Structure 1
Amino acid sequence: MKTPLIPWLSVSLPFLLSCCATSHDNYADRNQLVTDFYAHVEAINDVEFESQVGESMAVWGLWGALENAHGNSADMLVGATVSAFFGGLITALSEGPRYGYEYHLLAVDGDSVIVVLDYFPAEEGQCVRVRMANSVSVKATDAGFCYSDDEY
């Protein structure tokens, strides 16, 4: 007897997709101290990250020139130019954005924390949840979490 595909998929697909929808901790967070706290955003400053594109272009350009050293000077020049371009392009793509944000946070317990991020999760004065483990994540949250028990 041949089983139709549509009924079989309609029954099994929810079970197969439910394993993808579970929320577990990040695999990189194992065997580490994970800290969660809530804080007010006091100030936000723009920062510029260092870039390695120039150095990468120089190294790849030298490699391209040496790789084409057996030809004439035009081969060396073209090899250096093409290698420098693609080396710089790959480095720029792998580095990601060059600009970020420095968040000055005031935690609920009174601690002052500075976090540098490459994304913009919240505005000044908002309440955020900070999770520090393998990396730092900051997410805007309800303002009720930023009031300590003493303020009620």
Structure 2
Amino acid sequence: MNKVFIVLLLLTGCAAGPGIDRAEENRIVTEYYAQVQSTKAVQLSSDVFNGMMIGATVGVIDELDGNREDMIAGGIAGALVGGLFTALFEGSDEAYEYQLFTQKQGEFWVVQKEQLPSDTQCVKVRVADKATLVKAPNQWCENNELLTRSAM
């Protein structure tokens, strides 16, 4: 019975089909082209320490009915588990900051985990709940004021 449940659970996770992201429902989505001014690698902040502290607290509380050694062991185990799950949930701390420019928006920055090819000079910026960048042909940025549009 447990094996069937696990298999069904795994298959359910793979059942997502193609289509428009549900986060874009009832939202204005804007797309425009921007010139890449510069790119630099950045490091994102992390909550691993907070996860370790919460895990340690839970571990100690779970072992309050035991002796001191049990509470210490519970705190250490909780800190390891809390930190590990936080690190797995966050993923890599490496990201890239892109300094962009359009005549209409002026200069602005986008930070994303995906690194674009080093020869990228023009990007399509898609803004909904979050902004994403995709490499675009350079000529699309030559007169980007005319190319600004809203996607429907």
Q: TM-score, normalised by structure 1?
A: 0.75
Q: Which of these residues, 22, 25, 28, is aligned with residue 23 of structure 2?
A: 28
Task: Describe the SS at the equivalent of 1:71.
Answer: coil
1:93 corresponds to 2:91: no
RMSD: 2.1
Residue by residue, what CA displacement relative to the aligned partner does 1:5-29 show, whole Å, maximum 9, x if unpaired?
Answer: xxxxxxxxxxxxxxx56xx432211
Q: Which stretch shows the higher mean deviation, 123-132 or 67-76?
A: 123-132
Tell me by how many angstroms 1:110 deviates: 6.4
Q: Cα–Cα, structure 1 residues 147 and 113, in superposed 2: closer, same or farther, change >3 Å?
A: same
1:137 corresponds to 2:125: no
Give the share of equivalent positions with the same residue, in percent.
30
Tell me by how many angstroms 1:108 deviates: 5.6
CA contact (8 A) 2:97 2:110 kept: yes
1:111 corresponds to 2:106: yes
Q: How many corresponding residue pairs?
A: 129
Unaligned segments of structure 1, at least 5 residues:
1-19
Task: Describe the SS at the equivalent of 1:39.
Answer: strand
Q: Structure 2 CA distance, aligned partners of 1:100 and 1:61?
A: 29
1:55 corresponds to 2:47: no
Which ranges of 4 or more aligned residues in structure 1 deviate by more than 3 Å? none
Q: Cα–Cα, structure 1 residues 70 and 88, in superposed 2: closer, same or farther, change >3 Å?
A: same
CA contact (8 A) 2:34 2:144 kept: no
Larger radius of gyration: 1
Q: TM-score, normalised by structure 2?
A: 0.75
Task: Describe the SS at the equivalent of 1:45.
Answer: strand
